[in-house]
Amino acid sequence: MIKAVILLKRRDDMTLQDFSDWMLKEHVPLALKLDGLKRYQVNIAREDGSDYDGVSELWFDSEEAMLAAYGTEHGKAVAADSMAHVKDRKRIVVDEHPFTPTA
């Protein structure tokens, strides 16, 4: 299992609320239909002034599965929707190592 972590900075003409509305109401429903997507999490900044306004996390079985998903017409549309609403986007493919605190 791999995860793509995508850092997003909204366009200059968008407020943080505009960005949040677009992400949650328009982009998430598109992204949820990516082939092979196992889990999807969106994180949106609480206040203006951060280097990035949102972070998306997408889990796939493998990097090949992720590339295949984004290689489809739908995957290309998801990426194009993202690029149309942000001025900066950084993607990092990571291996996740979760830990749970103990008492």
Nearest to 87 by CA among 26, 13, 23: 13
- In a domain, residue 46? The reply is yes
- In a domain, residue 21? The reply is yes
Q: Angle formed by the axes of helices 73-85 and 63-71, to 10°?
A: 80
- In a domain, residue 101? The reply is no
Residue 38: domain span: 2-94
How high is the pLDDT of residue 103? Answer: 79
How high is the pLDDT of residue 28? Answer: 98
Overall domain count for the chain: 1
Q: Which two tokens stand for residue 80?
A: 């194009």
pLDDT digits (tens, 9 = 90+) for 22-51: 999 999 999 999 999 999 999 999 999 999
Q: Is the pLDDT of residue 3 over 90?
A: yes
pTM (two decimals): 0.91
Quick one: average pLDDT of 95-101?
93
